[in-house]
A and B are shown apart, each in its own frame.
Chain A
Amino acid sequence: MMAPRPLRALRAEWTKLRTLPSTGWLMLLAIAGTVSLGCAITGSLEYAHCESPCTLDLTKLSLAGVRLGQVGIVVLAVLTVTAEYSTRTIQPTLVAVPRRLLVVLGKLGVLAVLGVATGVLAVAGSLTAGRTMLPGNGFTAAHGFPALSLADDLTRRAAIGTVLYIGLITLLGAGLGLLLRDTAGALTGAFALLYGSPIVAMFVSDPRWQHRIDRFSPMDAGLTIQSTRNLAAEHIGPWAGLGVLSLYAAAAVIAGLIAFQLRDAG
Chain B
Amino acid sequence: MEPRIEVRALRKRYRTTVAVDGLSFTVRAGEVTGFVGPNGAGKSTTMRLILGLDSPDEGDALVNGHPYRSLRTPLRQVGALLDASALHPGRRARDHLLWLAHSNGIGKRRVSEVLDQVGLASAARRRAGGFSLGMQQRLGIAAALLGDPPVLMFDEPANGLDPDGIVWIRGLMRSLAAEGRAVLVSSHLMGELEDTADHLIAVGRGRLIADTSVAKLLAAASKDRVEVATAQRAEATTVLANAGATVTVAGPETVVVEGLPGDRVSALLTEAAIPFSELRRHRASLEEAYMDLTRGAIEFAPETGAPATERSVR
Contact = CB atoms under 8 A, between A and B. Distances in A.
A15 B105 contact: no
A93 B83 CA distance: 12
Contact of B68 (A2, A92, A98): A98
Nearest to B105: A2
Contacts of B48: 264-265
Given A5-B72, A83-B88, A92-B86, A19 B53 contact: no
A12 B100 contact: yes
Contacts, number: 87
A11 B71 contact: no
B53 A87 contact: no
A15 B71 contact: no
Nearest to B94: A19
B199 to A, nearest CB: 24
A99 B69 contact: yes
11 contacts: A2-B105, A3-B105, A8-B105, A11-B103, A19-B95, A87-B89, A91-B53, A92-B86, A93-B103, A94-B53, A264-B53
B53 A20 contact: no
A88 B99 contact: no
A16 B82 contact: no
A88 B104 contact: no
Given A96-B100, A98-B70, A264-B53, 9 more contacts: A88-B83, A89-B87, A94-B51, A95-B51, A95-B82, A97-B74, A98-B68, A264-B48, A265-B53
A11 B102 CA distance: 6
For the complex, would chain A's binding face be called helix, strand, loop or mixed by DSSP majority?
helix
Interface string B35-77: 0000000000000100111110000000000001111111100
A92 B74 contact: no
B14 to A, nearest CB: 9
B156 to A, nearest CB: 14
A19 B91 contact: yes
Given A87-B89, A98-B52, A265-B53, A92 B100 contact: yes
A99 to B, nearest CB: 7
Contacts of A225: none
- Interface centre among A87, A88, A95, by most chain B C-beta atoms within 10 angstroms, is A95
Contacts of B86: 87-92
Interface in B182-236: none
Interface of A: 2-3, 5, 8-9, 11-16, 19-22, 83, 87-99, 264-265
A20 B99 CA distance: 12
B88 A12 contact: no
A265 B143 CA distance: 19
A12 B102 CA distance: 5
Q: Closest 3 interchain pairs by CB?
A: A12-B103, A19-B95, A88-B86
Contacts of B53: 91, 94-95, 264-265
A91 B83 contact: yes
B105 A19 contact: no
B74 A264 contact: no
B24 interface: no
Contacts of A12: 99-100, 102-103
A87 B87 contact: yes
Contacts of B95: 15, 19
